[in-house]
Amino acid sequence: MKFGLRYCNTGRFTDPVNAVELLQAAEQAGFDSAWTIEHTVVPGGYESVYPYADSGRLPGREADFVLPDPLIWLAYVASATRTIKLGTAILILPQHNPVITAKQVATLDALSGGRVLLGIGVGWLKEEFDAIGAPFADRGRRTDEYVAAMRELWSSSAPTFRGEFVEFENAYCNPKPVNGAVPIIVGGDTKLAARRAGRLGDGYLPARGANPEMIELARRTAEEHGRDPNALEISTSLPDDLAEIPALAAAGVHRLLVPVTAAAGLQAVVSSPDDALAFRTTIERYADA
C-alpha cells in the first residue's frame, strides 16, 4: 500500500513557503505522492451540481476560492523535492488543448525525473467550460481522443494523429517523458469514469472512496478490451476508520490519499522555524501511524 497527500494546492498550501515545506516533509516521511486539483475559474452563481457534496455546491465562496494552477504549482515544488511523485487529481482534460498539455506534462516529467502522474477527468461545471470557451456536451469523447493524441506525442519520434477533434502530422514534440509515457489515472465515481479507466487508463481514482462495484467495473472493462486488469493501479481516499486499510489492501487498492486538512492534522502554519518543526513532526507522526 502506498500513501499520498491530497489536495495539496489548497488552503494554507497555496502559500509558496508552506507548499515546499509540505512536500519536503512528506517526501522525508515516506509519502509516495502529492496530488493537486483544478478549477481555472469558478463562475459566481453557477447552476451546475457539484457531485461530491449533498449541497451541490463547492465548499466556500466562489470569490474566496484560491486554487493555483495544478501544473505550475507542481513545477514549483518539483524543484524543491527529489523523489515524491507529482499528481493531478484531477486535471479537467477537455478544457485543455491536448497538444499544449502534452508538451507541458512531458516537460514537467522530464525536469522532475519522471515523477508525474496525470490524473484526468471530464469535469462537471458547465459554466467553467463556457468561460474558457471549451465545448461541454462532447467532453467525454474529447477526453478519450485527447488521451490518444497525447500518448502519440509522447511516444512517437514523428507524431501523427488524425481524429475527430485533433489532427497533426510529423509534429515533433520534445522533450519526451522520462519513461516513454506519463501514467494516466482516470478519476470519477460514475460508471462512465470506471469504464474509461478500464479502456484507456493506467489507473483509476474514485474520489468518494473505494466503491467495490466501480473498481470491479473498471477491471472488467480492462479485461474486455484485452488489457491486464491487475495492471490498473487503484488509488482512493483514506477511509475515516483506519482499521479498514487492511481490507482495502486485500481488495487490491494500491494507494490511499491522505487529506491535507485539519482532520489529518496537517494544516499547520509554517511561517517560522518553530512552526516548520511542528509541521514536520505532525507529518512524521501521521506516517508512523
- How distant, in Å, are the alpha carbons of 4, 255, 266, 287 from that of 283? 12, 17, 7, 6
pLDDT at residue 269 greater than cutoff 80: no
Q: Region 160-168: what's the mean pLDDT? A: 98
Q: What is the pTM of this model?
A: 0.94
Q: Give which of 57, 87, 254, 60 is closest to 185, Cα–Cα.
A: 87
Q: What is the pLDDT of residue 274?
A: 57
User: pLDDT per residue over 4-29, tens digit each?
Assistant: 999 999 988 999 998 999 999 999 99
Span 78-91, mean pLDDT?
98
pLDDT, tens only, 142-161: 999 999 999 999 999 999 99
Grid-cell match 487503484, residue found: 234
At 61, is the pLDDT very low, low, confident or very high (cuts 50, 70, 90)? confident
| Predicted pLDDT at 275 | 61
Cell of 58: 463547492
What CATH code is assigned to 2-182+238-288? 3.20.20.30
Q: How far apart are CA 144 and CA 223, in angstroms?
A: 18
Quote the CA–CA distance of 203 and 4 in Å, as a whole number.
14
Residue 267 pLDDT > 50: no
Domain ranges of the chain: 2-182+238-288
For 188-204, what is each residue's pLDDT tens digit? 999 999 999 999 999 99
204: left (phi over 0), alpha (psi -120 to 50) or beta: beta
180: left (phi over 0), alpha (psi -120 to 50) or beta: left
With 50 as the cut, is the pLDDT of residue 227 above it? yes
Residue-level pLDDT at 85: 98
Q: Is the pLDDT of residue 268 over 60?
A: no
- Cα separation, 40 vs 45, in Å, equals 16
What would the mean pLDDT of 22-51 be, rounded to a whole number? 95
d(CA 158, CA 53): 45
What is the predicted pLDDT for the residue at 12?
85
pLDDT given for residue 278 in this prediction: 65
Portion of the chain with pLDDT greater than 90, in percent:
79
Mean pLDDT of the region 232-245: 93
Whether 149 and 163 have beta carbons less than 8 Å apart is answered as yes
pLDDT band at 242 (very low <50, low <70, confident <90, very high): confident
DSSP 2: E
Mean pLDDT, rounded, of the chain? 92
Q: Say which range, 55-64, 202-211, 232-241, 262-271, has the weakest mean pLDDT.
A: 262-271
How far, in Å, CA of 217 to CA of 198, rounded?
A: 8
pLDDT per residue over 89-147, tens digit each? 999 999 999 999 999 999 999 999 999 999 999 999 999 999 999 999 999 999 999 99
pLDDT at 27: 96
